[in-house]
Structure 1
Amino acid sequence: MTESSVAAPAALDKAAPVYVAGHRGLVGSAIWRRLTAAGFTELVGRSSAELDLRDRSAVFDFFARTDVSVVVLAAARVGGIAANNAYPVDFLSDNLQIQLNVLDAARAHEVSRLLFLGSSCIYPKFAAQPITEDELLTGHLEPTNEAYAIAKIAGILHVRAVRRQYGLPWIAAMPTNLYGPGDNFDPQASHVLPALIRRYDEAAQHGLPSVTNWGSGTPRREFLHVDDLADACLHLLANYDGDDHVNVGTGIDHSIAEIAGMVADAVDYSGEIRWDTSKPDGTPRKLLDVSKLRATGWTPSIGLEAGIASTVGWYRDSICAGAPT
């Protein structure tokens, strides 16, 4: 089939089975909450122990036994700069296997609607700012996470190819940096914002005189609360059908130093903030152009300072409260 023969998506049936791949992760759990709140009654989820998405035969068997009509592919191996830099083979191999297996099985069983979620790291390190969707494949990637980025780029092209060859109205969305309840706060594997929350909260609890952060503090980053992302995903499934992926963000960025200050305020830390410039900064700036998303009628509702404060509360209640003393 040609691009012009792609079928328009029908309105989402809230009684039809919806499979959220990765439903226990940061993104998947937020999407699950949002779908539940919207009245979807047949949500399908499998933990990694129940279904290893890297196991192709197991994935195909799952789709054969589960008559899902909508798939949200939020499952992925994720991590911060340190983890991506140390384990590029794992990030490339695991994510390619997950994507190929789920997308191929969904296509074989003619899943009528699918949303593939990637990451803003797909764009070149020195892309023009703010970054439009057209910047994809126009330059070199950030070396510290290029393996993960390549896997996500492959997913975008896979969705685009399915639309062209099979006429299924599948779509892809690329979120900016995410944070919120359910995030990974492990000091060796977390992204920048949860890493800062843990570091500053521990410093506040132990009365440490200073906190040292990676890099110079000058790179600028955009952050989106994961509940806002979940709302945007449901909105796109109901309102968007196009060959191009869609950026999902706020259109506002801050320096890492400014973010660190917000986190310090949220945990009530007043000590000295230091910067270890021997550690990598990563991409100097990464701000998404969200014009395409806004044209569909969606905007975020959770401000960054309020979102950080609520995430600190969740971290203390859910992570610190369960930590051994």
Structure 2
Amino acid sequence: MTDRTVCTKTFPLNNGRSMPAVGLGTWQGGVGTKDAEALEASIIDALRSGYRLIDTAQSYGVEAVVGRAIRNSGVPRSEITVVTKFWANWHHDPAASLQVSLDALDIDYVDVFLMHWPFATTPAPEMRPLRKNESPTIVETWKLMEKLVGPRCRAIGVSNFTQKTLEEIMAEATVVPAVNQIELHAMNPNLKLVPYCQSKGIHVMGWSTMGGSGADNPILTHELFKGIAQKHGCSTGVVSLSWAVQRGVTVIPKSSSKARIEENIKLVTLDDEDMAKMNDAQNTVKRFRIADHITRLWMEMDGKPTLQGWTRVDFGWEDEQGNWLT
């Protein structure tokens, strides 16, 4: 194994602050007592290993665990970037949603507050999925979010947005999103969307950069990725994380293993050939979108498959002919 040091690289945000290149994701399938204890331990391990970014969301059901881990880590709150996201049922009132997160986290402020998805639902308990142009629209929600920027919410941003949806809010925005958090891995590299965001001063965070947890994830098994990993004396996961960071993207790998947590923040430098192979893997290996397989969110509406009321065209993922746009 090649000697590697903890990655302390940061990227500038458009509000004058910065964001670490590597953080810890906190999504997990279970939220029972043992799951919570394991998550708290993993966050503390990460912070003590040099991580300074924790990503979470209201829908993960773990904000209270995240806040407790931060307090128990011994790392000053001022050194940690905390990102959280509000769910679709709060699009009508992001201010109330911010208070929900602050109460759950039990911290004085969040560093970045994100609209988790462009789609909206009616408020709880009904939570009926709304079509794209039903109120509150993403523009209406963004205008409400702009009022939140201040001592309790240092920056605002979006998640799972494309060129299409970003352009819709940017046409009326007075605050440019600081962050766009998107699905990003070699099978869905977003070779157009990432530079688009960067040209607008929007920093990109990637989720599932290791390709997801499925058994058919080629990043873990395909010879292309294994060959690059062997060349650099690291795991295929570290190759994937390094590829994204070299493109200017923040990554937030999730792991419950202390050894893996420590490994994931020690990146390698890929050469031009490695980067080209990774960028082209969507053509030479496989192309897929993890979001297409989040079965609990997909439903039929108006005779079409939709993700909570939105089609792939609505999102800006594809055109009417099915060509990928990001």
TM-score of the superposition, structure 2-length normalised? Answer: 0.31
TM-score of the superposition, structure 1-length normalised? Answer: 0.31
Identify, as 1 or 2, the structure richer in helix: 1
